[in-house]
């Protein structure tokens, strides 16, 4: 009995020392950039082959807006230039969420309604939450204009109007 208790205690201590449950996804709080009012959240839920992203934004101009993961988790610049280019560990050309050629961070567009709100649920293949190509610590950016899903480096999607860093969800 005592042995079992000691074993259980050591498991508990090990869990506390490690302090980390497995990462089951990521969460992002997007803040306005470039003088915009755009803000919101993205929740990435890990799936068998990638992630399902649940997006809720407000303060957008009605219509389509480019939406991507960028390579640096740094939103400090007023225009979010500090977030770098699109997350692109495989050195591909720009595309959309479903195109054959695409950056790993290419999600295509998010569409705002007449009140400037956008809600979307997007399936993302190949998104990883650990290892060298993990999206944790990268940035999510919303752009002023529509992404044309083909033009390098960022689909002619214009200014960066909201930015947030992907934090681990456990």
Please give the positions annotated as active site. Answer: 68, 70, 86, 94, 103, 106, 143, 160
Q: Report the distance separating Cα 28 and Cα 138, nearest Å.
A: 10
β-pairing, 106-112 vs 160-165, is unpaired
Binding mask 48-77 for Zn ion (x = CB under 5 A): ------------------------------
- Considering only residues 135 to 164 of the shown chain, the ones binding Cu ion according to CB under 5 A are 141
Instruction: Compute the least distance from the CB of residue 140 to Cu ion, in Å.
Output: 9
Does 39 contact Zn ion by CB under 5 A? no
CB nearer to Zn ion: give 46 or 86. Answer: 86
39, 46, 65, 68: which one binds Cu ion (CB under 5 A)? 68
Using DSSP, state whether 83 is helix, strand or coil: helix
The Cα 4–Cα 86 span in angstroms is 51
Nearest CA-CA partner of 29 in 42, 18, 44, 17: 42
Q: Which residue's Cβ lies closest to Cu ion?
A: 68
Q: Which of residues 76-115 bind Zn ion (CB under 5 A)?
A: 86, 94, 103, 106
Q: Which residues pair with 139 in a beta bridge?
A: 70, 165
Secondary structure element (H or E) that encloses residue 116, with its range: none
Are 146 and 66 in contact, with CB atoms under 8 Å apart?
yes
- Residue 141 interacts with, from Cu ion, Zn ion, none (CB under 5-8 Å by kind): Cu ion
Binding site for Zn ion (CB under 5 A): 86, 94, 103, 106
């Amino acid at each position: 009995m005592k042995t079992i208790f000691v074993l259980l205690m050591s498991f508990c201590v090990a869990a506390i020392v490690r302090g980390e449950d497995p990462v089951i996804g990521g969460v992002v709080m997007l803040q306005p950039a470039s003088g915009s009012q755009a803000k919101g959240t993205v929740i990435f839920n890990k799936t068998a082959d990638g992630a399902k992203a649940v997006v809720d934004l407000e303060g957008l101009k009605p219509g389509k807006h480019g939406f991507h993961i960028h390579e640096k988790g740094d939103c400090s610049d007023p225009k979010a230039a500090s977030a770098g280019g699109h997350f692109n560990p495989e050195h591909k050309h720009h595309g959309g969420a479903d195109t054959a050629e695409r950056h790993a961070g290419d999600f295509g567009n998010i569409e705002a309604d007449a009140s400037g709100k956008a809600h979307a649920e997007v399936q993302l293949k190949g998104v990883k939450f650990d290892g060298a190509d993990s999206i944790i610590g990268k940035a999510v950016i919303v752009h002023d204009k529509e992404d044309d899903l083909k033009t390098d480096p960022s689909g002619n999607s214009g200014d960066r109007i909201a930015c947030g860093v992907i934090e681990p969800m456990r």
